[in-house]
């Protein structure tokens, strides 16, 4: 007489281990990368709190607060998906900056920079630069991590978060540029024209490669 095996292991697929869920389809390398991203976001949030205590300009303080709040939500969304392997309860949001896109070009004379002698010398110029460093580092890390995700939900969340951190970086750059903290040099007109005209379009035949 054939006896049916009703043990929990009978419902497992060959690649599953006891105590796992079919939704926790994370690779080992992905686990380490996700930990690095989440730890990096915690570090960014902690540093933004420290910056907030020293920022003087209300405009920069507002940018700090909005970005801090947005990153908390992004962090919670990632943790939700990472821990369950499923769609998060709150999907990835879209960050909208408040700066306009006007760029001030050119270099104005300024004092050479040097490290601060004490915390008392912290300025909005330096604090906004630290914020820009945080957002640029996170956008780079998220882009690299998304390339090696095996869980499709977590991969999408990582990838969709990259434009948000790029937008936050651009917002801080625009703030810095407006206040003369981040100056943008340009080439001489003749050199710029030569560079801009250094490429031409390739013909499109509408046929595949032969």
Name residue, tokens 């903290």: 181
What pLDDT score does 11 carry? Answer: 37
What pLDDT score does 10 carry? Answer: 36
Whether the per-residue pLDDT at 7 is higher than 50: the answer is: no
Q: Is residue 5 part of a domain?
A: no
Q: Which of 150, 144, 167, 114 is nearest to 29 (CA)?
A: 150
Mean pLDDT value across the chain: 87
Structural domain tally of the chain?
1
What CATH number should be reported for the domain holding residue 81? 1.20.1260.10
Q: How confident is the model at residue 208 (pLDDT cuts 50, 70, 90)?
A: low
Domain coverage including residue 153: 25-105+122-192
Q: Is residue 162 part of a domain?
A: yes
Q: Is residue 129 part of a domain?
A: yes
Q: What is the pLDDT of residues 15-54, one digit of tens each?
A: 444 444 544 577 677 888 999 999 999 999 999 999 999 9
What pLDDT score does 60 carry? Answer: 97
State how far the Cα of 110 lies from the Cα of 116, in Å rounded to an integer: 16
State how far the Cα of 92 lies from the Cα of 90, in Å rounded to an integer: 7
Q: Is residue 72 part of a domain?
A: yes
Q: What is the pLDDT of residues 56-93, one digit of tens each?
A: 999 999 999 999 999 999 999 999 999 888 899 999 99
Q: Is residue 112 part of a domain?
A: no
What pLDDT score does 117 carry? Answer: 93
Name residue, tokens 């043990």: 7
Q: Is residue 15 part of a domain?
A: no
Q: Is residue 160 part of a domain?
A: yes
State how far the Cα of 123 lies from the Cα of 119, in Å rounded to an integer: 9
How far is residue 167 from each of residues 50, 64, 97, 172, 179, measured CA to CA in Å? 22, 13, 7, 9, 19
pTM: 0.84
Residues 136-156: what's their mean pLDDT? Answer: 94
**200 contacts: CB under 8 Å, gap ≥ 6:** none
Q: Is residue 68 part of a domain?
A: yes
């Amino acid at each position: 007489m054939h006896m049916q095996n009703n043990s929990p292991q009978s419902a497992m697929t060959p690649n599953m281990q006891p105590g796992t869920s079919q939704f926790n389809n994370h690779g080992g390398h992905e686990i380490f990368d996700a930990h690095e991203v989440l730890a990096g976001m915690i570090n960014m949030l902690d540093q933004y709190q420290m910056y907030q205590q020293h920022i003087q300009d209300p405009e920069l303080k507002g940018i700090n607060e909005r970005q801090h709040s947005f990153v908390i939500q992004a962090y919670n969304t990632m943790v939700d998906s990472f821990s369950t392997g499923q769609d998060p309860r709150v999907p990835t949001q879209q960050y909208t900056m408040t700066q306009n896109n006007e760029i001030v070009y050119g270099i104005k004379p300024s004092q050479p920079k040097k490290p601060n002698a004490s915390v008392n010398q912290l300025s909005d110029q330096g604090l906004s630069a630290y914020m820009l460093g945080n957002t640029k580092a996170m956008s780079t890390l998220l882009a690299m991590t998304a390339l090696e995700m095996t869980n499709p939900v977590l991969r999408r969340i990582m990838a969709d978060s990259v434009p948000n951190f790029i937008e936050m970086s651009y917002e801080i750059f625009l703030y810095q540029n407006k206040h003369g903290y981040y100056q943008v040099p340009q080439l001489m007109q003749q050199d710029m024209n030569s560079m801009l005209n250094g490429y031409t379009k390739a013909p499109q035949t509408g046929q595949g490669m032969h």
